[in-house]
């Protein structure tokens, strides 16, 4: 049974649908963030913008993964990159949730902490400019906040990406 699961995960690792799912999910998440920012006027904080940067990076890596899914080394590096992005995503979402719920007290300023040569907030201010301090995220549905949904999404991303990445290295062929 485990061999079949690992074989399926290996197939998924080279599937165009796997990468397309990440691309569509990432673009959808960014579109939702922009809707909340520009239509509902829910302004983003520094952690929200850092999460947007991670989602943008996920989309870029997923495009690379899609285009190189049949090249073993590049495919493995793309999967590893997604796992690293997912770990960072979980950490940022946990900080956002903790700040919102009050179990983490952090200094949330107006600087992304990026080097001067990577002034993305100046290049794309409509997407990456910090406009408020941390403290709360909007309610999405049934009392569930954006921070709570992001936390669930980040953990799911990590579990899926790690499972697929780990399956690449499992030998399912019987030894002779």
Gap between the Cα atoms of 147 and 136, Å rounded: 8
pLDDT at 2: 66
pLDDT at 112: 74
Residue range 133-155: average pLDDT? 87
Query: Residue 67: what are its φ and ψ, rounded to 5°?
Result: -75, -20
Residue range 65-91: average pLDDT? 91
172 pLDDT tier (thresholds 50, 70, 90): low
Most confidently modeled range among 42-46, 96-100, 152-156:
152-156
Query: Quick check: 176 pLDDT over 60?
Result: no
Give percent of the chain with pLDDT exceeding 90.
Answer: 39
Contacts (Cβ under 8 Å, ≥6 apart) of 36 = 42, 138, 146
Query: Quick check: 106 pLDDT over 80?
Result: no
Enter the tokens of residue 52: 């947007």
Give percent of the chain with pLDDT exceeding 70.
Answer: 91
Three-class SS of residue 46? helix
Most confidently modeled range among 13-22, 30-39, 164-173:
30-39
Gap between the Cα atoms of 76 and 176, Å rounded: 26
């Amino acid at each position: 049974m485990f061999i079949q699961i690992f074989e399926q995960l290996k197939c998924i690792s080279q599937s165009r649908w796997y990468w397309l799912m990440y691309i569509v999910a990432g673009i959808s998440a960014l579109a939702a963030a922009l809707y909340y920012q520009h239509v509902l006027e829910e302004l983003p904080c520094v952690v929200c913008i850092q999460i947007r940067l991670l989602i943008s990076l996920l989309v870029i890596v997923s495009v690379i993964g899609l285009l190189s899914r049949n090249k073993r080394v590049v495919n493995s590096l793309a999967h590893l990159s997604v796992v690293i992005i997912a770990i960072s995503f979980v950490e940022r979402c946990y900080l956002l949730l903790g700040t919102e719920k009050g179990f983490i007290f952090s200094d949330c300023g107006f600087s992304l902490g990026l080097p001067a040569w990577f002034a993305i907030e100046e290049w794309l201010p409509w997407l990456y400019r910090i406009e408020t301090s941390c403290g709360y995220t909007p309610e999405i549905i049934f009392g569930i906040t954006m921070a709570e949904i992001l936390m669930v999404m980040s953990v799911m991303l990590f579990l899926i990406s790690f499972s697929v990445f780990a399956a690449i290295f499992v030998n399912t062929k019987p030894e002779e």
